[in-house]
Structure 1
Amino acid sequence: MSGPALTSRHIVSFGAAAAVLAAMLAVPAAASADPVEGPAATVVRDDEPCPPPAEFRPGRFEDSTDLDSRYQPLPAGTELTWQVYANDGGQALPRTVVLTATDLVKRIDGVWARVLWQRRLAEGVATESALVFQAQDDDRGVWQVGAYPELLTDGAVTGSPEAWIAGVAGARAGVVVPGDPEEDERPYLRAEAPGIGLLRCGFVVDRSAREVCAPSICYDGVLVVEEFSPLLAPPVRHSYLPGVGMIAAAQVNTDGETQFLTGRRRLSVDDRLAAAEAALGLEQRAYAGSEVYAGTEAMRLLAADEDARAVQRALRDRAQ
């Protein structure tokens, strides 16, 4: 296939941070009294537009599907799981969020993006299943270029009210995680889609925060980015541990909730195949039911390693 080139950057080393995460996962979760403890106080921003931190153009995305950012490494075949906790009281709630980096890629607004499959589950049952499209620029900043979420009730799709694609209906891509984060800079765009009333902005609170705490462990050297919207409150603090990724996403109010990272694993070929099939099924329904999705190019499978090639062979066999 034409599109993203394969380079040595596909090889990712998690180093010491992965060992820290392994230690965290070995400790039984016991919610702290204040699960949002750590980041500094929320900064209130004026209701003003937030521009992209750099021009979004294909020439800045040479290896765009290699999500090997220091702050959000997501090689294909990686699955992350977050447990949801209540801010008020710190008790674990019966909700989890699961994100899978699939072997699929999709060209959006001239840039190849990695296809991520995200699920929200309540008591083990999916309430939302979504395609999330992210691309990495040459400075290793991670951009979100679109999303197609489906709401589910008892396994049945009940709607997709917040689908958006960069370059369609005025939607613009924005930066999820800066490649070289700097404090004291003006807020930047994280995502914009006027058709669905979406406007998310972000700013770096601390590029190396200390004492950012999960229920059973605290971290130093954490990047803290706050996402806010002039259209919707409350803001959300995202904490990224270098070499591991997002360890927490906290709504900054006592009535909100916080997601803490509780699992990170490499998937088997069978699991990667199941994720690819689920993503392809979502895309099929998106073409049938979403006007903003209808004009996009179809996903392709990027066979970047032997496991991905095994997924590719299995998909071909099932299509015959």
Structure 2
Amino acid sequence: MHADDLRPRRTRRRALPAVVLAATLIATPAAAQATPDPSTGPAATVLPPAATADPGPCPPLTRFRPRNFGDPADLDNPHQPLPAGTEITLQAVANDGGALLPHVIVLTATDLVKNIDGVWTRVLWQHEWRDGVAVESALVFQAQDDHGNIWQLGEYPELVDNELPAGAPETWIAGVAGARAGIVVPGDPDRDEPPYLRAEAPAVGLLQCGLVIRTSADEVCAPAICYDDVLVVEEFSPLLAPPVRRSYVPGIGLVAAAQANSDGETLFLSGRRSLTVAERLAADWEAVQLEDRAYETSEVYAETTPLRFDAGDDDAAAVRRLMADRLRH
């Protein structure tokens, strides 16, 4: 298949998924690449001086080079392991009183990959619920470099209103309209590092920085469970406030996310599981439909080549066969 065959055609609503999914199984993404404080929990009470002293842009932690991504879609950083077919659920809890709140985020690592800015990324499907109603469905693109750094290279966050798509004005893709990839979780976290670039997209007013607060915090507690040896990373923006602190446990991943200096809510990990083949098919299908709409609604997304299946394991191969059968019917 020539590269031109993968270019999106925005006038054909349902053709893109059929073209891509029927004939683009790849062996591995790499083969196709051309060239908190312990006493208060994950939410901080005081911003660190490094985060407040310099409100300007934060530099990249390391230079982004596609050649440094040997097996980029294999997200196995111990602080954020997300193999294909993994689903994590985050449940909101009130910071004042600990009551469960009707805010849930579900993140799924699909069997799909997408080439962005020269790197094959893992396609993550994220959907968010409030009061039992879907409010957002998003495609998130992450990749891991040879040093274990988890990068984010773009996002298509589609708003939902009355169960119908309501646009995605905050879409950004690395390499398009001045957007730059940044690091979500460092491969070798160090408290002594200055703030680093998390993501930047000038066209949508996005500038996020990251800062390692703790590398092995103890007694970081969620409802009914406490964790030790926790990596705490603060994400903040020189343009907006307040910052968010995320807590990661080795071998588990993200276990908590909370706004610093806030009496609002904290998102805690409430579930992590491996999906069945049928569930993986459903998640992949949702991602395919999201991409189909993205090509029609986003000029930024239209600059990308279509997603592909990744032949990662036997379940992924089974999902691909089922998807092909669905498309034929």
Please list every run of 5 or more consecutive structure 2 residues that lacks an aligned counterpart in the other structure. 1-25, 32-38
In structure 2, what is the equivalent of residue 29 of structure 1?
none
Separation (CA, whole Å) in 1 of partners of 2:242 and 2:262: 10
RMSD: 1.6
Once the two structures are TM-superposed, the CA of residue 86 in structure 1 deviates from its matched residue by 2.0
Q: Does 1:4 align with 2:12?
A: no
Question: How far apart, in 2, do the equivalents of 1:168 and 1:158 lie?
Answer: 23
1-side partners of 2:115 and 2:313: how far apart?
A: 20
User: SS state of the match for residue 242, structure 2?
Assistant: strand
What letter is aligned with 1:227? E
Paired residues of 1:175 and 1:189 also in contact (CA < 8 A): yes
1:156-195 to 2 correspondences below 5 Å: 156-195=164-203
Tell me the equivalent position of 2:47.
Answer: 42
Partner SS state of residue 159, structure 1: coil
Q: Measure how far apart 1:4 and its partner are.
A: 1.5
Higher mean Cα deviation, 296-305 or 88-97? 88-97
Percent identity, aligned pairs only?
62
Partner of 1:10: none
Give the drift of 1:263.
0.1
Q: How far is the alpha carbon of 1:64 from its aligned partner?
A: 0.1
1:2 positional shift: 6.5
Cα shift at 1:48: 1.7
Match for residue 71 of structure 2 among 63, 69, 81:
63
Partner of 2:224, secondary structure, is: coil
1:99-114 equivalence runs, <5 A: 99-114=107-122
Work out whether residues 43 and 257 of structure 2, in 8 Å CA contact, stay in contact via their aligned partners in 1.
Answer: no
Instruction: Look up the SS of the partner of 1:127 in the other structure.
Output: strand
Equivalent residue, structure 2, for 1:243: 251
Q: Does 1:304 align with 2:312?
A: yes
Change (3 A) 1:195 1:5: closer
TM-score by length of 1: 0.88
| Contact 2:28 2:311 (8 Å CA) reproduced | no
The answer to whether the Cα contact below 8 Å between 1:114 and 1:133 also exists between their aligned partners in 2 is yes
CA deviation string 1:290-314 (max 9, x = no partner): 0100010100001211110001001
Matches within 5 A, 1:93-242: 93-242=101-250
Aligned position for 2:11: none
Q: Whose RCO is larger (CA < 8 A, sep 6+)?
A: 2
Provide the rounded CA distance (Å) in 1 between the counterparts of 2:160 and 2:76.
31
Report runs of 4+ in structure 1 exceeding 3 Å deviation: 34-41
Tell me which residue corresponds to 1:289.
297
1:89 paired to 2:97:
yes
Amino acid of the residue matched to residue 179 of structure 2? Answer: A
TM-score by length of 2: 0.86
Number of aligned residues = 293
Contact 2:247 2:255 in 1 (8 A): yes
Amino acid at match of 1:109: D
